[in-house]
């Protein structure tokens, strides 16, 4: 075939287009740099004599980031430029002080650390992966996702891709029920699955105004993913990407304009049958709080024919058991019980609650989810204010801002772009070409508690 | 002297003075300094040791950080042992336990890890090379080539061969007493390396045979190595070019790190170097540092025990790195099962690093360590840096001797695998 008759390929590699969407509302300075002014003045006089009034030398500042580059130098430092390198303190320890600012330390709540809030802000703003030098700086391990490390492959790994683009790594997942066998004598009227290009959807926004919901809808549409809402409005933005949470009263509305995917609260067992008959072409997902009996309930729902389960914890990632445990633990229990009962491949699991950083996505999938939903993270990306503890799903203490929906959508697209890139980094390191393979693959992860017992076996406890 | 020289001199003096004053705590503990792994006290204690060659005497914590796990929750048993004289304790280890090949011993169970030219300044590289020579140990080039300025120290320089093959030439392999294959690194396991465009100056580009101010990636993995047999071909290649060289294999810490180690042994490696995720000096995605591969504290016993069970432990040297900050960390590494360790960040802290992590931003490191900026690089005088690093290692030796003497152990080799001496 010559080049003139060759048809152009329809193949397009999935890519999320990010572009800067700067903070609209001023964010606190991370560092608070200040000088003891009398000592600073004395130092300047001293250096003026030492360097014989050589202005260039005397006024050369101990900062390469321009903190003292303002008209008043160290007397009025440009605090927003400080990155905490501490060189000014090293050079002039008797004059300079650099500390984390009080407004930075107040960010978030008991779950959302200031660092996590800053990370989301910067990811949403720049669309770039956080990269730093000089190693890891945080806690050794921790509870929940912090106590999980993902595996890597040393040499047997032909799928190097990362963010640099060689072989393709798929982050697509399917939502819906998959038949376990093919019956050629039966016309299967069950809805087909829906494929989405990233294993992340926007869960019901905890609080929000019209522009915020619009931003979420627009972002979902741009990304090709879905957003969940209890209300079917606004329909102006991305209606095809809406997953409505339906009850008896709203079923009828959907008959005229059926959604591809619908959710219902699992405690309303009667609704599932109604949904199945009223919306035969929709994928029906039961929304279920995680607790001690979630595994049993999940198996029962799967047997009854639901197409998926949306398992949720509270906004701090704790389940609703009498002794709350992290979503990573309860998710594993449900996943493994479904596997044991031979039901796992029949249902899709969406996990939400406490999914606040990029690494939580692969870790939740390792624990058994097919995909995750994000909630408070959306509000953080859109610069909502923390006004108290936002743990309870019925009592969100975050105050949304007035935003431009276009700006908000770009922030969310940026965030998803960065999370997508980081997911690819994790998959790439593991030598996986497909995020679907990661589901429940606990063998490709390492748990802090288990490793500690294996490796520190024989080490006595301090008395 | 021109203004530029005066400015460099002024700030160098101020920085060096600050490194002396800060550990005295005369101005208090700097509030914004440090983090959970490298606490403010640990950083200042390292400055103090680098200044004096002695352990801090003013109560600064110099043994552990505040990470809440790993080395920071391990301690030492403190009773029931017959102490011996510290001066009789031998800290040397051998780097080749095979019958064949050159015998190399280092006087401390420590050598310097790979930090490439381009990611660090030439002056800091020289300081490390000089310190390695003075101590009688080694430092690794990292994957950035072999600048002519370090050739005089070549008997103490490990040539690193990594996936980008930057600066790997026949003569640089022939110089080397030890050649290090970097299959992976703990801070970005499975992700290769990345030198951001700003740091690729004309000198760096020339050394790496690339274009100026263009980002350079080291791919992952070696695309010529997909099996132990392929790896053996690599080892054979090095031994053909330089039959006298020992071969070290640097790998990360996946779930099957024990299998990787045994494979490396059978491929002919003299040193198996496992690199955990919590160290590293170069730029790395934050998600990789925290989340991929296991911390070194957990990997060492796994590898050590497996090599013992396979009956080859005494034929191969196990070296650990990745977040080793103090003399106590070094002793714990050995008690967990390694022969010795590799450090890099601590050397940077010795010459003024604050562990702020802004290495890749703008002009690079503000005190001249991880930078190619011609002005900033001058803050590290190689001779001054050499003294600081030697002092740090000297202070560490004293602490190591104190630990060993407290347990009645005459040699650091006797500490290997003695988990019974640790408490948690």
Instruction: Name which of B191, B222, B359 is nearest A162 (Cβ-Cβ).
Output: B191
CB contact under 8 A, B290 and A89: no
pLDDT at A157 over 60: no
Convert the pLDDT of each residue in B349-372 to its tens digit.
Answer: 999 999 999 987 778 899 999 998
**A94 neighbourhood in chain B, CB within 8 Å:** 21, 27
The pLDDT of residue A188: 62
The pLDDT of residue A160: 47
* Better-predicted residue by pLDDT, B187 or B335: B335
CB contact under 8 A, A131 and B31: no
Residues 6+ apart with CB under 8 A from B220: A157, A160, A162, A428, B163, B184, B190, B191, B192
Number of Cβ within 10 Å of residue A353's Cβ equals 30
Q: A347 is in which domain, residue-wise?
A: 145-451
* Better-predicted residue by pLDDT, B230 or A446: A446
User: In the numeric block, which tokens belong to residue A95?
Assistant: 């004059």
CB contact under 8 A, A63 and B298: no
The length of chain B, given as a count of residues: 424
CB contact under 8 A, B220 and A160: yes
- Least confident segment among B166-175, B291-300, B305-314, B341-350: B166-175
A155 touches chain B (CB under 8 A): yes
> Nearest CA to CA, how far is B113 from chain A (Å)?
13
A180 and A289 housed in the same domain: yes
**A77 neighbourhood in chain B, CB within 8 Å:** none
B293 touches chain A (CB under 8 A): yes
Q: Which of residues 224-283 of B touch A (CB under 8 A)?
A: 225-227, 230-231, 251-252, 254-256, 260, 277-283
CB contact under 8 A, A85 and B354: yes
Q: Which of residues 6-25 of A touch B (CB under 8 A)?
A: none
A363 and A287 housed in the same domain: yes
Which residue from B minimizes the CA distance to A149?
Answer: B291
Q: Which of residues 29-48 of B touch A (CB under 8 A)?
A: 30-33, 35-38
- Least confident segment among A243-252, A304-313, A337-346, B42-51: A243-252
Is A112 within the bounds of a domain?
A: no
Handedness of CA B231, B237, B243, B246 (dihedral sign): negative
Chosen domain end from A100, A126, A158: A100
Is A241 within the bounds of a domain?
A: yes
Among candidates B115, B180, B128, B174, which has minimal Cα distance to B317? B180
pLDDT at A4 over 70: no
pLDDT at A226 over 50: yes
A288 and A419 housed in the same domain: yes
* Number of domains observed in the structure of chain A: 2
Q: What angle do CA B346, B348, B350 make, to 5 degrees?
A: 70
Convert the pLDDT of each residue in A332-391 to its tens digit.
Answer: 999 999 999 999 999 999 999 999 999 999 999 999 999 999 999 999 999 999 999 999
The pLDDT of residue B193: 76
pLDDT at B313 over 70: yes
CB contact under 8 A, B336 and A57: no
Is A224 within the bounds of a domain?
A: yes
Instruction: Name which of B36, B282, B290 is nearest A133 (Cβ-Cβ).
Output: B282
> Nearest CA to CA, how far is B35 from chain A (Å)?
6
Is A354 within the bounds of a domain?
A: yes
A81 and A157 housed in the same domain: no
Convert the pLDDT of each residue in A45-97 to its tens digit.
Answer: 999 999 999 999 999 999 999 999 999 999 999 999 999 999 999 999 999 99
The pLDDT of residue A155: 64
Strand, helix or coil for residue B273: strand
The pLDDT of residue B279: 84
Give me the total of CB pairs closer than 8 Å, taking one residue from chain A and one from chain B.
297
pLDDT at A165 over 70: no
Check: CB of residue A154 under 8 Å from CB of residue A448.
no
Q: B332: pLDDT confidence band, cut at 50, 70 and 90?
A: very high
Alpha carbon separation from A166 to A161, A198, B190, B219, B380 (Å, rounded): 5, 19, 15, 11, 40
Q: A252: pLDDT confidence band, cut at 50, 70 and 90?
A: confident
A222 and A298 housed in the same domain: yes
A102 touches chain B (CB under 8 A): no
pLDDT mean across residues, chain A: 90
Is A310 within the bounds of a domain?
A: yes
> Nearest CA to CA, how far is B321 from chain A (Å)?
12
Handedness of CA A279, A280, A285, A286 (dihedral sign): positive
Picking from A152, A158, A417, A463 by the largest number of B CB atoms within 10 A of its own CB, the best residue to mutate is A152
> Nearest CA to CA, how far is B30 from chain A (Å)?
7
pLDDT at B302 over 60: yes
Which residue from A minimizes the CA distance to B362?
Answer: A65
How far is residue B190's CA from residue B285's CA, in Å, rounded to a whole number? 12
Q: Give the mean pLDDT of B256-267.
A: 94
**B221 neighbourhood in chain A, CB within 8 Å:** 153-155, 157, 160
Which residue from B minimizes the CA distance to A432?
Answer: B190
pLDDT at B187 over 60: yes
**A448 neighbourhood in chain B, CB within 8 Å:** 69
Which residue from B minimizes the CA distance to A463?
Answer: B423
The pLDDT of residue B201: 85
Longest dimension (CA), chain A: 98
A130 touches chain B (CB under 8 A): yes
Domain ranges of chain B: 3-66, 86-423
How far is residue A406's CA from residue A420's CA, in Å, rounded to a whole number? 21
Is A461 within the bounds of a domain?
A: no
Among candidates A139, A461, A134, which has minimal Cα distance to B70? A139
User: What percent of chain B has a predicted confidence (pLDDT) above 70?
Assistant: 100
CATH 3.40.50.300 correct for B86-423: no
A318 and A374 housed in the same domain: yes
Chosen domain end from A85, A100, A115: A100
CB contact under 8 A, A134 and B355: yes
CB contact under 8 A, B220 and A87: no
Is A290 within the bounds of a domain?
A: yes
Q: Which of residues 227-246 of A touch B (CB under 8 A)?
A: none
Q: Give the mean pLDDT of A435-449.
A: 95
Picking from A63, A89, A135 by the largest number of B CB atoms within 10 A of its own CB, the best residue to mutate is A135
How far is residue A445's CA from residue A441's CA, in Å, rounded to a whole number? 7
Q: What is the ipTM of this complex?
A: 0.94
Instruction: Name which of A99, A150, A457 is nearest B292 (Cβ-Cβ).
Output: A150
Instruction: Name which of B10, B226, B254 is nearest A57 (Cβ-Cβ).
Output: B10
The pLDDT of residue A208: 82
CB contact under 8 A, B220 and A157: yes
How far is residue B352's CA from residue B349's CA, in Å, rounded to a whole number? 5
C-alpha neighbours within 13 Å on the C-beta side of residue A269:
7
Check: CB of residue B175 under 8 Å from CB of residue B269.
no
Q: B318: pLDDT confidence band, cut at 50, 70 and 90?
A: very high
CB contact under 8 A, A133 and B353: no
User: What percent of chain A has a predicted confidence (pLDDT) above 70?
Assistant: 92
Among candidates B110, B179, B95, which has minimal Cα distance to B143? B179
A329 and A382 housed in the same domain: yes
A179 and A314 housed in the same domain: yes
A82 and A169 housed in the same domain: no
How far is residue B235's CA from residue B55's CA, in Å, rounded to a whole number? 41
The helix or strand, by DSSP H or E, that contains position A298, with its residue range, turns out to be helix A294-304
Instruction: Name which of B27, B222, B367 is nearest A87 (Cβ-Cβ).
Output: B367
pLDDT at A242 over 70: yes
Picking from B5, B8, B18 by the largest number of A CB atoms within 10 A of its own CB, the best residue to mutate is B18
**B76 neighbourhood in chain A, CB within 8 Å:** none
> Nearest CA to CA, how far is A350 from chain B (Å)?
22
CB contact under 8 A, A444 and B255: yes
Is A108 within the bounds of a domain?
A: no
The pLDDT of residue A161: 43
Q: A235: pLDDT confidence band, cut at 50, 70 and 90?
A: very low
B19 touches chain A (CB under 8 A): yes
> Nearest CA to CA, how far is B269 from chain A (Å)?
16
The pLDDT of residue A428: 85
> Nearest CA to CA, how far is B353 from chain A (Å)?
9
The pLDDT of residue A333: 97
Q: Which of residues 159-188 of A touch B (CB under 8 A)?
A: 160, 162, 164
What burial letters (b/e) apply to A31-48, b meaning 16+ CB within 10 Å?
A: bbbebeeeebeebeeebe
Strand, helix or coil for residue A33: strand
Q: B249: pLDDT confidence band, cut at 50, 70 and 90?
A: very high
Convert the pLDDT of each residue in B143-181 to its tens digit.
Answer: 888 999 999 999 999 999 988 888 888 999 999 999 999
Q: Give the mean pLDDT of B84-110.
A: 96
Among candidates B414, B406, B66, B420, which has minimal Cα distance to A461? B420
A211 and A72 housed in the same domain: no
B286 touches chain A (CB under 8 A): yes
Residue B167 DSSP symbol:
T
Convert the pLDDT of each residue in B400-409 to its tens digit.
Answer: 999 999 999 9
The pLDDT of residue B185: 84
**A83 neighbourhood in chain B, CB within 8 Å:** 356, 358, 361
CATH number of the domain to which A189 belongs? 3.20.20.70
């Amino acid at each position: 075939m010559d080049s003139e008759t060759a048809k152009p390929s329809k193949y397009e590699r999935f890519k999320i287009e990010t572009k800067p969407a700067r903070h609209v509302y001023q964010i606190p300075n991370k560092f608070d740099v200040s000088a003891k002014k009398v000592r600073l003045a004395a130092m300047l006089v001293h250096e003026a004599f030492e360097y014989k009034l050589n202005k260039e030398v005397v006024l050369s500042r101990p900062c390469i980031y321009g903190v003292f580059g303002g008209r008043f130098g160290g007397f009025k430092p440009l605090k927003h430029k400080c990155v905490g390198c501490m060189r000014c303190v090293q050079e002039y320890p008797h004059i300079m002080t650099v500390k984390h600012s009080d407004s930075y330390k107040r960010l978030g709540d008991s779950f959302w650390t200031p660092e996590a809030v800053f990370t989301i802000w910067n990811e949403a703003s720049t669309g770039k992966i956080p990269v730093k030098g000089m190693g890891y700086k945080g806690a050794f391990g921790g509870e929940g996702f912090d106590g999980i490390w993902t595996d890597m492959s040393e040499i047997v790994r032909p799928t190097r891709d990362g963010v640099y683009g060689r072989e393709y790594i798929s982050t697509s997942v399917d939502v819906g029920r998959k038949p376990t066998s093919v019956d050629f004598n039966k016309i299967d009227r069950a809805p087909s699955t829906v494929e989405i290009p990233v294993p992340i959807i926007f869960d019901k926004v905890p609080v929000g105004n019209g522009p915020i919901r619009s931003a979420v809808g627009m972002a979902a549409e741009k990304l090709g993913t879905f957003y969940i809402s209890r209300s079917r409005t606004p329909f102006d933005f991305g209606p095809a990407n809406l997953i409505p949470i339906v009850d008896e009263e709203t079923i009828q509305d959907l008959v005229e304009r059926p959604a591809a995917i619908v959710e219902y609260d699992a405690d309303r067992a009667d609704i599932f049958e109604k949904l199945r008959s009223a919306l035969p072409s929709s994928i029906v997902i039961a929304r279920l709080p995680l607790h001690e009996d979630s595994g049993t309930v999940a198996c029962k729902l799967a047997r009854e024919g639901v197409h998926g389960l949306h398992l949720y914890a509270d906004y701090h990632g704790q389940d609703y058991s009498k002794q709350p445990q992290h979503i990573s633990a309860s998710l594993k229990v449900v996943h493994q019980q479904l596997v044991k009962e031979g039901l796992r491949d029949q249902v899709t699991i969406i996990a939400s609650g406490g999914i606040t950083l990029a690494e939580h996505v692969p870790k939740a999938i390792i624990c058994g989810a097919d995909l995750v939903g994000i909630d408070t993270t959306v509000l953080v990306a859109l610069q909502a204010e923390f006004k108290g503890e936002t743990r309870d799903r019925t009592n969100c203490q975050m105050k949304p801002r007035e935003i431009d929906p276009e700006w908000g959508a770009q922030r969310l697209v940026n965030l998803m772009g960065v999370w997508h890139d980081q997911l690819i980094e994790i998959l790439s390191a593991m030598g996986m070409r497909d995020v679907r393979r990661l589901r429940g693959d606990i063998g490709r992860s390492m748990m802090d508690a288990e490793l500690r017992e294996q490796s520190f076996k024989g080490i006595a406890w301090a008395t | 002297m021109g203004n530029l020289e005066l400015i460099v001199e002024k700030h160098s003096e101020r920085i060096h003075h600050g490194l002396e004053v800060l550990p005295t705590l005369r101005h208090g503990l700097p509030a914004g300094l440090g983090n959970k792994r490298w606490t403010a006290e640990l950083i200042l204690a390292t400055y103090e040791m680098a200044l004096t060659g002695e352990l801090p005497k003013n109560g600064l914590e110099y043994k552990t950080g505040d990470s809440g796990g790993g080395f920071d929750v391990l301690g030492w048993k403190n009773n029931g042992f017959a102490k011996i004289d510290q001066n009789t304790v031998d800290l040397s280890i051998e780097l080749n336990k095979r019958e064949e090949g050159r015998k190399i011993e280092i006087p401390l169970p420590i050598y310097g890890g790979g930090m490439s030219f381009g990611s660090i300044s030439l002056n800091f590289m020289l300081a490390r090379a000089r310190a390695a020579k003075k101590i009688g140990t080694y430092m690794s080039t990292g994957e950035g080539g072999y600048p002519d300025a370090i050739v005089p120290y070549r008997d103490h320089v490990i040539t690193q061969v990594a996936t980008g093959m930057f600066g790997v030439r026949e003569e640089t392999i022939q110089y080397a007493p030890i050649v290090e294959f970097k299959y992976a690194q703990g801070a970005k396991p499975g992700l290769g390396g990345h030198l951001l465009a700003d740091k690729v100056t004309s000198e760096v580009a020339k050394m790496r045979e690339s274009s100026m101010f263009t980002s350079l990636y080291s791919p992952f993995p070696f695309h010529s190595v997909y099996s132990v047999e392929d790896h053996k071909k690599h080892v054979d290649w090095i031994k053909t070019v330089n039959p006298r060289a020992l071969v070290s294999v640097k790998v990360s810490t996946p779930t099957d790190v024990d299998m990787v180690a045994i494979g490396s042994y059978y491929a002919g490696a003299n040193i198996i170097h496992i690199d955990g995720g919590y160290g590293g000096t170069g730029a790395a995605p934050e998600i990789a540092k925290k989340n991929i591969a296991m911390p070194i504290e957990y990997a060492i016993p796994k590898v050590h025990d497996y090599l013992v069970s396979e009956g080859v432990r005494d034929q191969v040297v196990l070296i650990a790195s990745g977040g080793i900050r103090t003399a106590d960390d070094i002793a714990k590494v050995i008690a967990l099962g390694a022969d010795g360790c590799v450090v890099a960040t601590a050397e940077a802290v010795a010459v003024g690093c604050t562990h702020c992590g802004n290495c890749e931003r703008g002009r690079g490191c503000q005190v001249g360590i991880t930078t190619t900026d011609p002005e900033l690089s001058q803050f590290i005088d190689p001779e001054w840096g050499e003294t600081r690093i030697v002092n740090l290692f000297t202070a560490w030796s004293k602490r190591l001797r104190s630990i060993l003497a407290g347990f009645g152990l005459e040699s650091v080799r006797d500490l290997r695998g003695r988990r019974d001496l640790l408490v948690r």
